């Protein structure tokens, strides 16, 4: 079965700003690819180019084996960050509109949304809005799902249920390209692509991205004081519960900062989490001209 997505050395500029810089990636049928990166990394711009909503300045894009156009978009289920719903239409009217836009028979309102079927979408709450957007993205049986921050603002149980549906689609052969800030969701993906400042800085499985990368763990009696001192020193300090961890810096630097502040602590190197590996990769990219 052919690739659903092929992006090769794509660049997009907005004036002097390079939003996407020489990016390549692919998505196969039945594969969940996670596109990771901070706000402004270029993820949404890349998705918009892939869907043909904006053009590339350089490079090539293929969607379902063709240059992206209206025909290929009809085979894509897309949930944008803004959800793509009409707040001034009811849930039922949004369902009808989507069916008419894609040219399929109008389906029933999703069961969980029947109680609010005749309520304006703007009044049903974000969680229900996201469930509606996801249902509409699947209604025409797409070959590819493109999900841009699909669970932002949704409670953990609703996120888990949505991911169950994503996995069910992948098992049925649908390809999935998803952006997310939740590291637990990144772990749901078959393959990860990390973007920073418009470039791909790493790609592979979670194990491949973390690799031999380490972080620094700090054990001390006063974790609040340790955190405050390291943070004031400009180090990328994180909390895991009450455990203080620092990514992308050598252990001796952490020890020196704590010593200068008069703080005693047990400082040791530990395997990096995915989030810490991302910080390290992002830091390395920022140092590279």
Residue 175: the pLDDT is 94
- Residue 264 sits in which domain range? 214-271
Count the neighbouring beta carbons within 10 Å of the beta carbon of residue 153.
12
> 185 and 246: one domain?
no
- Residue at which a domain ends, from 209, 225, 250: 209
> 51 and 114: one domain?
yes
Residue 1: the pLDDT is 54
Q: Whole-number mean pLDDT of the chain?
A: 85
The CATH number of residue 78's host domain is 3.40.50.300
CB 240 within 8 A of CB 247: no
> 225 and 188: one domain?
no
- The pLDDT > 90 percentage for the chain reads 20
Q: Give 286's pLDDT tier (boundaries 50, 70, 90).
A: low
> 12 and 142: one domain?
yes
Whether the predicted pLDDT of 113 surpasses 90: no
Residue 10: the pLDDT is 93
Whether the predicted pLDDT of 185 surpasses 80: no
Arithmetic mean of pLDDT, 272-276: 81
Q: CA angle, 94 as apex, 92 and 99 as ends, to 5°?
A: 100
Q: Give the 3-state secondary structure of residue 128.
A: helix
Arithmetic mean of pLDDT, 158-185: 86
Residue partners of 212: CB distance under 8 A and separation at least 6? none
* Residue 86 included in any domain: yes
> 16 and 117: one domain?
yes
Residue 144: the pLDDT is 93
Better-scored residue on pLDDT, 156 or 67: 67
Residue 168: the pLDDT is 93
Count of domains in the chain?
A: 2
Whether the predicted pLDDT of 9 surpasses 90: yes
Q: H helices within 52-182, ranges in order?
A: 70-73, 91-102, 126-138, 156-171
Closest to 246 (Cα-Cα) out of 288, 286, 283, 201: 283
Residue 237: the pLDDT is 87
Whether the predicted pLDDT of 289 surpasses 80: no
> 173 and 88: one domain?
yes
The CATH number of residue 231's host domain is 3.30.70.790
Give the pTM: 0.79
Arithmetic mean of pLDDT, 82-94: 86
> 13 and 145: one domain?
yes
Whether the predicted pLDDT of 150 surpasses 90: no
Arithmetic mean of pLDDT, 146-150: 86
Nearest 5°: phi and psi at 33?
-110, 125
């Amino acid at each position: 079965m052919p690739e659903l997505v092929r992006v090769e050395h794509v660049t997009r500029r907005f004036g002097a700003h390079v939003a996407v810089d020489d990016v390549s990636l692919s998505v196969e049928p039945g594969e969940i690819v996670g596109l990771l990166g901070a706000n402004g990394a270029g993820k949404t711009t890349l998705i918009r180019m892939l869907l043909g909503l904006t053009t590339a300045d350089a490079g090539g894009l293929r969607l379902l084996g063709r240059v992206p156009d209206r025909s290929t978009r009809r085979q894509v289920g897309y949930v944008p960050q803004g959800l793509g719903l009409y707040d001034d239409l009811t849930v039922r009217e949004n369902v009808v509109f989507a069916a008419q836009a894609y040219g399929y028979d109008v389906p029933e309102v999703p069961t969980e949304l029947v109680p609010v079927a005749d309520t304006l979408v703007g009044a049903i709450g974000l969680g229900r809005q996201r469930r509606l957007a996801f249902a509409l993205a699947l209604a025409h049986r797409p070959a590819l799902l493109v999900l841009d921050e699909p669970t932002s603002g949704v409670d953990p149980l609703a996120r888990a249920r949505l991911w169950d549906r994503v996995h069910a689609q992948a098992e049925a052969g649908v390809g999935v390209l998803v952006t997310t800030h939740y590291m637990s969701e990144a772990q749901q993906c078959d393959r990860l692509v990390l973007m920073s400042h418009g470039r791909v800085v790493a790609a592979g499985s979670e194990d491949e991205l973390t690799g031999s990368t380490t972080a620094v763990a700090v054990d001390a009696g006063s974790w609040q004081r340790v955190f405050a001192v390291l943070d004031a020193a400009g180090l990328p300090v994180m909390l895991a519960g009450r455990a203080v961890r620092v990514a992308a810096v050598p252990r001796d630097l952490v020890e020196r900062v704590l010593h200068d502040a008069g703080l005693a602590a047990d400082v040791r190197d530990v395997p990096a989490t995915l989030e810490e590996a991302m910080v390290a990769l992002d830091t390395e990219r920022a140092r590279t001209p």
